[in-house]
Amino acid sequence: MEATSTHGSSSVSGFSRLRLAGILLIATLFIYVAVIVFTVSMVFSRFPNGLDALTPTDMTTFRGSYVLFHLLGLVATGAGTGGLAVSATLLLTTRARTWAQIALICAAAAFAAVLLAVAGRFTLLNFTEPTLAESATWQWTTWIFEDIAAPLQGLATLVASVALAVSDVLRRTGLVVAVLSGILIVLAVVAGFPPFVFAFLWLALGTGLLRRTRTSLT
């Protein structure tokens, strides 16, 4: 952070945002745990094969759970990408500025993709196809979740981690998480996997950021 005549207040502000970023990143894992518990107890208990088999009749008694399920996922993504974005804003005046700018763009794009998909899913509360799997809206939103949002979350994590490493805020942790993010991006594109996998990387970054509040940013 650049030295100014108000260095003291700037440092306090920086520490506050650093702590906020850490809390958001760590909270993501717990939110995803809630999503998993909800999925097992409320979704799979009624639909063992997933929501693809949901019929219009099923939806009439499942709307509340359907909406809550997607809102929980949106909140989890928002916490994770929000934490990455907040941490990136702290680096805009450091030598990692370019990486931070790219991280901000990627984090915003990842959240926007999930928000668009969730909005699309909400239009299916009164769908008329035999099952959700046969709905064109369900199909393109699933494509966004799996082939767009997941890789974008990985890319945002990778670039933000590089920015944290280059700026010396989290040199070692940033490098390790960046490497793991690159591996997960490849897996997301090739095989696909649940987005909560990134929460473990966000946990590592969040823990590192909270520890970093004990020192000053330069």
pLDDT at 108 over 80: yes
- The 3-state DSSP class for residue 61 equals coil
Distance CA 111, CA 216 (A): 30
pLDDT tens-digit readout, 110-127: 999 999 999 999 999 999
**CA-to-CA dists, residue 16 to 96, 112, 173, 212, angstroms:** 20, 25, 20, 11
Question: What is the structure's pLDDT at 205?
Answer: 96
Better-scored residue on pLDDT, 206 or 196: 206
Question: What is the structure's pLDDT at 78?
Answer: 96
Question: What is the structure's pLDDT at 1?
Answer: 42
pTM of the model: 0.87
pLDDT at 3 over 90: no
pLDDT at 5 over 60: no
Q: Pull the structure tokens for residue 184.
A: 């997960």
Distance CA 205, CA 200 (A): 9
pLDDT at 48 over 80: yes
Largest CA distance in the chain: 66
Question: What is the structure's pLDDT at 98?
Answer: 97
Determine the residue type at 175.
L
pLDDT at 38 over 90: yes
Do residues 49 and 76 touch, judged by C-beta distance below 8 A?
Answer: no
Compute CA 43 distance to the chain's CA centroid, rounded to the nearest angstrom: 22
- For the chain, domain boundaries: 7-212
Question: What is the structure's pLDDT at 186?
Answer: 87
pLDDT at 40 over 50: yes
Question: What is the structure's pLDDT at 23?
Answer: 95
pLDDT tens-digit readout, 8-37: 445 556 678 889 999 999 999 999 999 999
Question: What is the structure's pLDDT at 196?
Answer: 81
Mean pLDDT in residue range 74-86 = 96
Mean pLDDT in residue range 189-208 = 86
User: Of 183, 182, 157, whose CA–CA distance to 170 is shortest?
Assistant: 157
CA angle 173, 175, 115 (to 5 degrees): 85
